[in-house]
Structure 1
Amino acid sequence: MIYNAEAANISIAVGGDAMITRRMSPFKEPEFLELVNILRSADVSIVNLEMLFHDYESSWQWSGTTYTRSDPHNLTELQWMGIDAVTTANNHSYDFSEGGFLKTLEHCKDINLPQAGGGRNADESRAPAYVDSNAGRVAVMAATSTFSEQSRSGPGRPDFAGRPGVNALRHELTHHVKDDVFDALEKANIELGYKEEQIARDFFGFRGVEKDVDSEQDLEFLEHNFVRSDHFGVHTEMNTSDQSGIAKWIRGAQKQSDWVVYGVHCHESGSTGDFHGLSRISPPQFLVDFARWTIDQGCDMFVGHGPHFLRGIEIYKGKPIFYSLGNFIFQNESVLWLPDEAYRRFQLDHNHTPGDYLDTRSGGGSRAFAADPVFWQSVVAVCNYESGSLSSIDLHPIDMGYQRPIPQRGRPVLAKGQIARETLKWLQEVSTPYGTQIDIAGDTGRIVL
């Protein structure tokens, strides 16, 4: 053996959404520096970059939530913490249109911070970013199932350039309803004139070739698909075209790296579990299918994020699937500027400032993210591999300052005592459906294979 990578021993640390708007390096709390040491000590550390880095060179795009922007210098703060690579495909990628996203990718490149999930065309957004570590070369790949259509990257042709954007993982959503409901929807579709509109649109032909449907069993109503069934339910399924495009890049990444990590940003939900914010505890079936499929394709780890809270952990064929690692840094209340439409949603005008808007949006801390501790408690997971196989996962709870004032909350520190135990017990509970055993010792959780 002449290279360390030949031993196939590596530690990979993964975290959730990094919504960073402020510096990290000035702070000296022991619990914060302990977390930084964990990230720096891992051979490779990866988080999802749910923030744009630019100087407002481009126009904003309708978002309806936070218009994410941070000073480009804050990217180096992530590197200071020990972050080696980021994923950039998420629902905020086009908050400031194509220009804001491409500027973010440019700033990552300028400081040699590998990013995956975005590019100037579909292949670039699907391609891996590579991190060379002493323990081996890691390919990082990413997609998002939650996106605006404008942000979805597109393939090029010999005679036409591709479209910049994110690696979008589309899915088909079908509503199963019983006969009486199906018949009522069909009647409404006719009486409201939508059926005639669909016939005219199909005859005109601009929608292209569409799949054949059985009109007795299938119905499109208000841009949703319904089928007759003996039960009520929602069925989700991966888009096979996106799946095929992603598959070739996973195949290539395996040949050019020692390890492959795949991340997906997903706000969509399954049908069980309580709502926290706009998402349920359970992941949607298409995400479960996709996560397992990436492992079947040869990935060594799947990392989900999106709903801003922890979902369960599954060990599938000896490899880890994190359905959501929640937040890693949650400073979405420190953005400096917001467009007029954001203020008007809360009946505010030009006499109000971002501070007024953000305080009003959270009801002074009484609603939304500010009012639920699950958004402010998460984990950093360190996956330890020995001789090519996963041997253990160390789960380090982090505390992002629930109920602290806006200028303080959002920065992670290692959780201690009650907060650490609450976080790990939550993770135990949401991982139970997957048969995953998490042992708790003090302020740390551990999964041993």
Structure 2
Amino acid sequence: MSLAGECMVCRPFSMHDEPEFTQVWDLLKDSDVAYGHLEMNFADYDELKWPARGQGIGSFMMSDPEIANDLKWAGFDIMSTAHNHSFDFGAEGLLATKKHMKAAGIVTAGTGADLELASEPGYVEKKNGRVALVSTSSGNQHFMWAGLSKGALRGRPGVNPLRLNFEFMVDETTAKNLKDFAQKLNVAKPPKHGREGSFGIQLPGPQQWGDPESFFVGDRCEIISRCNKRDLERNLRSIDEARAMADLVIVAHHFSVADGPRGETAPQFVQQFARAAIDGGADIYVGHGWHRTLGIEIYNGKPIFYGLGNFFAQSEFIQRVPYDSYDAWGHDVDRLPMLTPAAHPLHPGLDTPSDTWWSSAVIQLEMNDYGLKRVLLHPVEMGRDSSPQANQSRRTGKGDHHQTEGRPMLAKGEDAFRIIDRYRRLSEPLGTKIQIKDGVGVIEL
């Protein structure tokens, strides 16, 4: 089994032949089955109506459907499509993506014409067995969730959601101050969720709907996140179906939210779902959404990859950028006809240096009927190194803003060591030991 991370891919790439590039695809094609996460939509523009998402901080992911054929050329067999950009161009963009991926011969899971179809596993047939994928997403807005048909109304196309519940534990002094704050502003409101004795605060906001934040008194201050009970149970049913119908089950979980600022460890709800997925019959859990690599846990003999990181980083080459993005990034939209997709800043993660945005690994799992034997981490870079300065090595264009090419190549030398050493450092607290041998990370079981 080979795993690759988030594919924000919008440029054809199959024509390139550098050894460091073709060796990446050799790693995928060397496996019985190769998985990746598709953080992109594919459609011809006559298949679309308009951008469905108005909130503009975040790229609007849409690209040429021909790139799906390049992903097949690269060796991908099965890809997850549930993420926070799945509904950027509405039902039309979501369903077009499914159609073009199927035409390219790549199985997908995580989105569909209604909730039942979005939740069902995708299956790929291979010589050595049948592989299933269940894909879900946390952090989507309500109109992106797939729905069921009812009352002569069709179900809503969308993503397979794994919604969340947050609670805030505060000490007695903080609780007193919060209640005083809520009383003075007249924003106290009982929460719809939370334990007995909790109190709620609902601050005014631009949206009409919203559940008050739920607070309760404890011995410290802590954010507590849990999976929505119904969504968790529905996804576990899909995992159980996949376990019964396939020989290997992958669960892909996209999460674009966190317990506060995004740190170096996965949120509580991610750990809850990952372990529940393994307990429910999954063989592999893969997490993505933060665009950074996170630690690896071996749980009951099964691998949990909390953050795969980016595998293609090409969002700044998206050709059709809607009004909302220019407006959100502070460009003068009164001059909209004069603004172009080359404007900067325009895409998250690209306005400041990042030592994790431009690197990850192709992960190879050696498995047999008795389970996981060994994990190999082959480091890749996307045109910048993994230093805090994110020094550029491959540039496209001659503009003032240095556009980074964004396709994966095998990393070398000090850069390769830094990439793998990050996995090692973040996996050690999870009880996973990673050795670095000849520039490759190795987990022996």
CA shift in 2, pair 1:381/1:59, >3 Å = same
**In the alignment, what sits opposite 1:113?**
106
**In the alignment, what sits opposite 2:222?**
233
**In the alignment, what sits opposite 1:95?**
88
**In the alignment, what sits opposite 1:104?**
97
**In the alignment, what sits opposite 1:220?**
201
Are 1:246 and 2:235 counterparts? yes
2:8–2:312 CA contact under 8 A, matched in 1:
yes
Alpha-carbon separation, structure 2, partners of 1:335 and 1:246 = 32
**In the alignment, what sits opposite 2:400?**
none
Alpha-carbon separation, structure 1, partners of 2:405 and 2:193 = 50
Residue from 244, 257, 262 that aligns with 1:255:
244
Determine helix, strand or coil for the equivalent of 2:315: coil
Determine helix, strand or coil for the equivalent of 1:375: coil
Alpha-carbon separation, structure 2, partners of 1:166 and 1:181 = 38
Aligned AA for 2:162?
A: L
CA shift in 2, pair 1:192/1:433, >3 Å = same
Residue from 347, 365, 371 that aligns with 2:331:
347
Aligned AA for 1:263?
A: A
How far 1:333 moved relative to its partner?
A: 0.6
**In the alignment, what sits opposite 2:73?**
80
Alpha-carbon separation, structure 1, partners of 2:352 and 2:36 = 22
How far 1:370 moved relative to its partner?
A: 5.4
CA shift in 2, pair 1:406/1:185, >3 Å = farther
Alpha-carbon separation, structure 2, partners of 1:424 and 1:369 = 25
Are 1:62 and 2:46 counterparts? no
Alpha-carbon separation, structure 2, partners of 1:392 and 1:268 = 31
- Deviation string 1:183-229 (CA, Å, 9 cap, x unpaired) is 2322332332334xx58xx9xxxxxxx56864x54223333221122
How far 1:351 moved relative to its partner?
A: 4.7
Alpha-carbon separation, structure 2, partners of 1:212 and 1:93 = 30
Aligned AA for 2:319?
A: L
**In the alignment, what sits opposite 2:284?**
301
**In the alignment, what sits opposite 1:412?**
408
The aligned runs of 1:40-189 (5 Å cut-off) are 40-56=29-45, 57-60=48-51, 61-63=53-55, 64-157=57-150, 159-189=152-182
The aligned runs of 1:189-200 (5 Å cut-off) are 189-195=182-188, 198=189
Alpha-carbon separation, structure 2, partners of 1:31 and 1:75 = 22
2:225–2:259 CA contact under 8 A, matched in 1:
no
Alpha-carbon separation, structure 2, partners of 1:439 and 1:374 = 20
- Deviation string 1:93-124 (CA, Å, 9 cap, x unpaired) is 11112221121112122233210100111111
**In the alignment, what sits opposite 1:205?**
none
2:345–2:351 CA contact under 8 A, matched in 1:
no
The aligned runs of 1:389-428 (5 Å cut-off) are 389-402=371-384, 403=392, 404-406=394-396, 408-428=404-424
Aligned AA for 1:144?
A: S
How far 1:379 moved relative to its partner?
A: 0.5
Determine helix, strand or coil for the equivalent of 2:219: coil
1:369–1:375 CA contact under 8 A, matched in 2:
no
Number of equivalenced pairs = 416
Alpha-carbon separation, structure 2, partners of 1:163 and 1:97 = 10
Residue from 272, 294, 305 that aligns with 1:289:
272
1:267–1:279 CA contact under 8 A, matched in 2:
no
- Deviation string 1:109-150 (CA, Å, 9 cap, x unpaired) is 223321010011111111110111111100011101121211
1:330–1:411 CA contact under 8 A, matched in 2:
yes
Determine helix, strand or coil for the equivalent of 2:167: strand
Aligned AA for 1:89?
A: A
Unaligned runs of 5+ in 2: 204-211, 385-391, 398-403
Aligned AA for 2:199?
A: D
Residue from 302, 306, 321 that aligns with 1:319:
302
Query: 393-402 or 379-388, which moves further after superposition?
Result: 379-388
- Deviation string 1:263-287 (CA, Å, 9 cap, x unpaired) is 001133357xxxxxx6211110110
Alpha-carbon separation, structure 2, partners of 1:258 and 1:369 = 43
Alpha-carbon separation, structure 2, partners of 1:234 and 1:187 = 20
Residue from 10, 13, 21 that aligns with 2:10:
21
1:398–1:413 CA contact under 8 A, matched in 2:
yes
2:254–2:287 CA contact under 8 A, matched in 1:
yes
2:326–2:346 CA contact under 8 A, matched in 1:
no
Determine helix, strand or coil for the equivalent of 2:317: coil
Aligned AA for 1:292?
A: R
- Deviation string 1:386-430 (CA, Å, 9 cap, x unpaired) is 233100011110010112434552100111111111101111001
Aligned AA for 1:337?
A: R
**In the alignment, what sits opposite 2:209?**
none
Determine helix, strand or coil for the equivalent of 2:345: helix
- Deviation string 1:320-359 (CA, Å, 9 cap, x unpaired) is 00000101111101000111232233223325443432x3
CA shift in 2, pair 1:447/1:352, >3 Å = farther
Alpha-carbon separation, structure 2, partners of 1:395 and 1:370 = 27
Alpha-carbon separation, structure 1, partners of 2:381 and 2:199 = 48
Aligned AA for 1:430?
A: L
Q: Give the fraction of aligned pairs with identical amino acids, expressed as a percent.
A: 31
